A and B are shown apart, each in its own frame.
Chain A
Amino acid sequence: MDKNMTDLARRNFFGKAAAAAGLAVAPGVMLYEVQARPADQAASSKVRWGMLIDTTKCNDCNECVTACQTENGWGAGSDNEQKSSDRQKAQWIRKVKLTDKQTGHVQSLPLMCQHCETPPCVDVCPTGASMKRADGIVLVDKHICIGCRYCMMACPYKARSFIHEDLHNQKVVAPRGKGTVESCTMCVHRVDKDGTPACVEACTKADRNAMVFGDLNDPNSTISMRLKEFGGEQIRADLGLNTGVRYQGL
């Protein structure tokens, strides 16, 4: 009997010790997944950033658009572009309303640069200003953009905008200027500091939870696991662009 009690005590002790050890190690295990890239290290193709949007949760909400405007300083997020007509004003992201002609079913979804794996905009840019970073984020290098707007002709999602007038007071994180083309950067300035895009953050804050951001190359990331379970369609999938932005409920 005594031996049994001792054994039990020993077992208890080991159990607790193991739990304690596990608890000590666990943060390290979880942190490993979201370890921030040091500032002096370049982006790598080991990671591929992507977004998954559940369109069934979107409805008439506009949080993502407002957040992007505030973060990046366009539209209602700045007092710029006063001279441009509504059709000339830049839009990095917009809500699109779909009504099925046959069934009458109504959907709503946010549409921004889809960060394709084989972006047509990158293919057509004569100077290479339209580029895809190693980690999959598609950007415009406005230093060498000559403003020819060929990328705007080529984009299947009409994601790009041209700046039609002088700008001032730009956000430090989002330089933008007359005569160059721009589009959603997936908040690359946030992503590089281990953050999430403003639209995703706003959607989560507003408790709608329609948008997920993460590493598509990591099979254990939230986005990858959700994609595996619920699937994620591309807009204009037939073009074979393998977009980084995927949609549920299309």
Chain B
Amino acid sequence: MLLRQLSKRILVTAGLLMVLPFSINADEQAGPVEVPKARAKATQEFGCVAPVEEMRKSHMQKLLHKRDKTLREGVRTKDISLAECIDCHVTKDEKTGAMPSFGDDKHFCSSCHNYAAVKVDCFQCHNDKPENQNYKHSLTDNPLKAHHKDLALNVEASKKSLNKETLDVVTSGGSK
């Protein structure tokens, strides 16, 4: 009887100890990587390229396909344009205010690629930062007023009326 209790306690403790590491996921991150937030958040109305899970799984395939279309055929849609991705996703470090370089954990691409230890050589040639790095995030200014004329999320160019979710996003500047 004593042995049974002891082994039961051992099992319970062992079980708890095994579960403990997973508490690291207690917050809402998908895993141990802190992915920097994009400059603007996609919404139902002004959707971005594809759902997050699909992008996580197949962004390289999309990029590898699009790069041939752009370079060899001259198709320059903003759809999976690397420059557009970087423009939105690569943002200044909230704490230091510095624009991270690829390789830094604070850079959107390397935040995951460092953790997964998957080497990419895109940024040997491509600029890893948005062209306009002095983009200032102002409280009064519309943060989505992009320097790209036809960025879909340019609210002023669009004469449509906005749904509430989009309105929240554009006034809050994409932060939660």
Contacts and interface: CB of A to CB of B under 8 A. Distances in A.
B76 to A, nearest CB: 5
A135 B74 CA distance: 10
Interface residues of B, number: 20
Given A171-B127, A177-B125, A133 B77 contact: no
A37 B125 CA distance: 27
A39 B76 contact: yes
A37 B76 CA distance: 10
B72 to A, nearest CB: 6
Contacts of A168: 101
Interface in B78-92: 78, 83
Interface string A191-206: 0110000000000000
Interface string A127-138: 000010111000
Q: Which of A37, A131, A170, A175 has the most CB of B within 10 A?
A: A175
Nearest to B131: A172
Interface in A215-249: none
Contacts of A189: 76
Contacts, number: 59
Interface string A37-61: 1011111000000000000000000
Interface residues of A, number: 31
A66 to B, nearest CB: 20
B73 A142 contact: no
Interface in A70-125: none
A176 B73 contact: no
A40 B73 contact: no
A3 interface: no
A170 B125 contact: yes
A169 interface: yes
B40 to A, nearest CB: 18
Contacts of B76: 39, 189, 192-193
B126 A131 contact: no
Contacts of B113: none
Most B Cβ at <10 Å: residue of A43, A166, A193: A43
Contacts of B121: 177
Contacts of A169: 127, 129
Given A170-B127, A172-B83, A40 B72 contact: no
A39 B126 contact: no
B71 A42 contact: no
B71 A139 contact: yes
Nearest to B150: A39
Given A177-B124, A180-B125, A40 B77 contact: yes
7 contacts: A41-B75, A42-B69, A167-B124, A167-B125, A168-B101, A175-B125, A179-B124
Given A175-B127, A177-B124, 17 more contacts: A39-B76, A39-B78, A40-B77, A43-B73, A43-B74, A131-B72, A133-B74, A134-B73, A139-B71, A142-B125, A168-B101, A172-B83, A175-B125, A177-B121, A178-B124, A180-B125, A188-B74
Interface of B: 67-69, 71-78, 83, 101, 121, 124-127, 129, 131
Task: Please list the 3 inter-chain residue pairs (A to B) with the smallest Cβ-Cβ separation, ordered nearest first.
Answer: A177-B125, A43-B74, A42-B73
